Amino acid sequence: MTMHRLKNGLIAALVAAGTLAGATAVVQASTLDQILDVSESKNDAARKSQAKIDRLADQTSDLLTDYKTVMKQVDGLKVYNARLQRQIENQNKRVGEIEQSISQVTVIQRQMTPLVIRMIDGLEQFVELDVPFEKEQRIERVEFLRSNIDRADVTVAEKFRGVLEAYNIELQYGRGIDTYRGTIDLGGSPRDVDFLRIGRIALVYQTTDGAMSGAWDKSSGAWVELPAGEYDAAIRKGIRIAKKQATIELLNMPVSAPEAN
């Protein structure tokens, strides 16, 4: 009886132990699944975190590249702005100089007009007293200059330049030889003649038929007839030289004696 109870107790213990072991196995299997689920969840979270990190790293790299590009542009703009600033300073300095020059020009312009008038008056007097070659043309030049004085569309500088040009033309007259055709009153009747001007030292004429020759006498301020045959050939030769039809050579010309100072 006792043995039978022991067997039944042992069997019950074994059954209980098996049941406990099975339950433990079930519990362990469930725990492992949970652990695996947690691990997978962590791995997935880690992958997402890494992807986010990689994305942020790429964005950071792009931002760094953009930053470097912008900084290069900023450095270039700083250099450009510095150059512009120097140019502006130089231009402001130049503007100040120009403004000062303008104020000086205003004063000079007020002084230039009387000077131009005096120069024209002097030129007109000079033409009147000079040897009377191409006199009408020279007087017209003086009158043109005088008519420009009151013109508002001609600057003072242009008026002054015109006077200087006229003076230069008069200067050139004394350095060359020239011939031109004109009319002169001989014996109360007009005659066509060829004039020959040699600088300002001699002004002679010869009728177109070569019959008469004459010269301007500074002392009397009148034309005088030259002796027949004395200067005729020389004057004809001089006219040909002035027309570039003959080579230059010495000519025997009537020259007035120098005036005493």
The per-residue pLDDT of the chain, averaged, comes to 82
| Domain range annotation of the chain | 109-172, 177-242
Q: Do the beta carbons of residue 196 and residue 189 sit within 8 Å?
A: no
DSSP string of 56-119, one letter each residue? HHHHHHHHHHHHHHHHHHHHHHHHHHHHHHHHHHHHHHHHHHHHHHHHHHHHHHHHHHHHHHHH
* % of the chain at pLDDT higher than 70: 86
Per-residue pLDDT, 180: 92
pLDDT in tens, 238-257: 999 999 998 888 888 887 65
Return the C-alpha torsion angle 209, 213, 216, 220, nearest 10: -130
- Is the pLDDT at 197 greater than 90? The verdict is yes
Average pLDDT of span 72-79: 86
Single pTM value for the model: 0.57
- Inter-residue contact 211 to 229 (CB < 8 Å): no
Residue 160 pLDDT level (bands cut at 50, 70, 90): very high
